[in-house]
Amino acid sequence: MPELPEVETVVRGLRKTIRNKTIKSISLNAPPSSIALSDSFKNKDFKHLLKGKKILAVNRRGKNILITLTDHLTLWVHLKMTGHFFYDHHPQPINKHDLVIFHLSDSSGEKIDSHLHFNDYRRFGRLRLFPQEELWEQPGLKELGPEPLEISVDDFIAKCQSSRRMIKPALLDQSFLAGLGNIYADESLYFAHIHPQKLSSSISKKKLTNLHYHIQRLLKLAIKNMGTSVDSFSGVNGKPGRFQKYLKAYHHEGNPCYFCGHKIIRIKIGSRSAHFCPRCQRL
């Protein structure tokens, strides 16, 4: 699943390409489960509600993409496992995995000059449309924790020390921190030399300070490199990310540890996997 750096890469790509454009029409091939509308829209449909709306802003909250439209509407998108946005200036043959195609006009609003495809071969991605006054009361947004790049070190330490959960599941909990997933949790714990099963309340202030530093350092570096492409992720321009070449723990099971040479191992914690060095990250 795309994590904070990948979603931020998509958001920045969308800002450069679709902001201030108008949605002239929509081609829809999405299953009913992929589209959700506010109950306040009554009998209006997705295409009717979006037609003619101007795109004012594109922002991110955790792993969620928020596209602000005229008439006080927000298109809320979650890429889930395999969702992608692709932007092009020329009509392309419709791919069978294109769930939604937004046909956009330039600032004059006179003619279609570009197209934004929402493509998802596993069809888990979600597009939801809400009035702005309802948006932040929706499950999936209202319970989100602080942004990892915004939380202070003191608040991060207090948050960890007040929890008696294992640190890896805590970092993956979107109500604890919004945006981290398996890749950056594994990498951050690896560089901070913290075992993923260590109880967060038992970790020293010094170790948590180091963990906070590496979370922010790795996220910033990943954003600079347009995210990690270990499966199918790519940006709005179709180009893959480059951060996978910096990974030291995630997907490195059996490889020698960067620090000590011991083999990286992978274990299951609940339903999720964790990659770490048992010598450097002692429980």
On the 0-12 / 13-18 / 19+ scale of CB atoms within 10 A, 160 is buried
- Asked if 63 is an active-site residue, the reply is yes
Catalytic annotation, pick one of 21, 63, 126, 168 = 63
CA neighbor of 166 nearest in space, from 270, 278, 275: 270
Structure tokens at 60: 């991110």
* 3-class SS letters over 22-48: EEEEEEECCCHHHEEECHHHCCCCHHH
Structure tokens at 269: 């914690």
DSSP designation for 264: P
Catalytic annotation, pick one of 3, 6, 8, 187 = 3
Q: Is 139 helix (H, G, I), strand (E, B) or coil?
A: coil
Distance CA 125, CA 81 (A): 7
- Asked if 3 is an active-site residue, the reply is yes
| DSSP H or E run through 120 | strand 112-120
| DSSP H or E run through 51 | none
- Asked if 248 is an active-site residue, the reply is no
Residue 256 in contact with residue 262, Cβ under 8 Å? Answer: yes
DSSP designation for 258: T
Catalytic annotation, pick one of 51, 165, 248, 272 = 272
Q: Indicate which residues carry an active-site annotation.
A: 2-3, 63, 272
